[in-house]
Structure 1
Amino acid sequence: MVETRAIAVSDFCEEILWKTNERPTPYPDALEFMAEKSRKIREGSASPIVWLVEHPPVFTAGTSAKADDLYNPHGYPTYDAGRGGQWTYHGPGQRLAYVMLDLAHPNGPTPPRDLRAFVKSLENWVIASLAQLGITAFTREGRIGVWTVDPQSGLEAKIGALGIRVSRWVSWHGVSINVDPALDDFDGIVPCGIREFGVTSISRFNPSLTMQDLDSALLQCWSQFFGSTPKEI
């Protein structure tokens, strides 16, 4: 196992913005926004940003997606995301946190261009945020994403997914966390190519928890892994 470290608070020296979309964002609009924002960050004409959205139901294909892993009984739209990973479902009740950071000096981790440290910090950020909500989550060797023990089945299940794209050392895409999505919609794919395990959500632990509760936890835990508290816009 390769040893990595989380990104330290001192690793970022430029203000990071924090933006939340209150209405569902069509997936093509999100791709366009991220491509343009990452280009501007790379050019130095825009600040790094964490963008929180929800999407209408959609299946997205990462660079390793296999055609046989898509069933799509409801005929939801499908898109080539251009990120790493395999098939992922996005839909109402799922929080997407798109993380657009400069992974080289001055906004990225130390040492610069350390993708393993960046991914590890994303995982730990999600884990810490879920802990704020009373949910114990973890990673597993050989499995992508963030996992927990489903309170109904007693089995390990995925609660958060990661999919990252890096363009000239600026990151985009990010993480998804299941708050209260229609879990049956995940049956339209083999999530991240893993057939042996299911998916779960925050609502299965505590139905009273809301998207806003998760957003608050994500914001509160950000500085522990990525630097000073972002500026909400």
Structure 2
Amino acid sequence: MIPDDIEWRVSAGLTPYQEALAEMEARAAAVAAGEARELVWLLEHPPVYTAGTSAAAEDLLDPRFPVIQTGRGGKYTYHGPGQRVGYLILDLGRRGRDVRCFVHALEDWLIGALGRIDIPAFRVEGRVGIWTREGGTEAKIGAIGVRVKRWVTLHGFSVNLAPDLADFGGIVPCGLGEFPVTSAALLGKSADFATFDEALALGWRAFAESLSCARKIEA
């Protein structure tokens, strides 16, 4: 399912966020220089709040965990045990150079993977992330935050499989305090990491093909 020119890495245990950030930066530089393969990295972090480039101070309510500034887009988000995080180090220089297409394709990929574990998910115009319904209410189950440097992507997504949702209480997630955060576990779906990772792998080809069809623009 995954071609040989892509490294598909799954890290066991908890990877400290700052270690992952340093690894991402180094790998992205190597990919931009043509010295390394592209990378899809699936991992899990200890509890941490991360701030994107548009994070607002008033959205940090209770910094009970470390707060780390990042170069990705977006506001505050939470990462922690029970959440599948995916980092994508992909060369858009050979995949269309269309950031909007990349984000749209990423949304579709996650929506498809959630559908494979029986969670109907969708995007909402004007709102960041991946959404589903918890009862009759729209609730956020996945976050997206990316950065593009020399046409190589960094950061990526997080999907709530079975995190402690109370840990989101220290921030206004993505600045959208009027909507709840949910998880596969809260929705009654018993999806472990291996099952969700397989769902992602099954959708990889369609995701990659949607990038290759992107409108090409000049750097």
TM over 0.5: yes
Equivalent residue number for residue 122 of structure 1:
106
Q: TM-score, normalised by structure 2?
A: 0.92
Q: Which amino acid aligns with 1:145?
A: G
Is the 2:146–2:156 contact (alpha carbons within 8 Å) kept by the matching residues of 1? yes
Aligned sequence identity (%): 49
CA distance in 2, matches of 1:96, 1:51: 8
Shift of 1:207: 4.4
Equivalent residue number for residue 223 of structure 1:
205
Equivalent residue number for residue 5 of structure 1:
none
Number of aligned residues: 209
Question: What stretches of structure 1 move > 6 A for 4+ residues in a row?
Answer: none
Q: Which amino acid aligns with 1:144?
A: V
Structure 1 position 68 matched with structure 2 position 58:
yes
Equivalent residue number for residue 193 of structure 2:
211
Structure 1 position 85 matched with structure 2 position 89:
no
Q: Which amino acid aligns with 1:124?
A: D
Equivalent residue number for residue 22 of structure 1:
12
Structure 1 position 134 matched with structure 2 position 118:
yes
1:89-128 → structure 2 map (5 Å cutoff): 89-105=78-94, 108=95, 112-128=96-112
Shift of 1:149: 0.1
Unaligned runs of 5+ in 2: 210-219
Is the 2:122–2:131 contact (alpha carbons within 8 Å) kept by the matching residues of 1? yes
Is the 2:75–2:175 contact (alpha carbons within 8 Å) kept by the matching residues of 1? yes
Equivalent residue number for residue 34 of structure 1:
24
Give me the CA root mean square deviation.
Answer: 1.7
Shift of 1:205: 2.4
Is the 2:118–2:189 contact (alpha carbons within 8 Å) kept by the matching residues of 1? no
Q: TM-score, normalised by structure 1?
A: 0.86
CA distance in 1, matches of 2:100, 2:117: 26
CA distance in 2, matches of 1:57, 1:117: 31
Equivalent residue number for residue 150 of structure 1:
134
Equivalent residue number for residue 212 of structure 2:
none
Equivalent residue number for residue 3 of structure 1:
none
Selected match of 1:171 from 153, 157, 162? 153
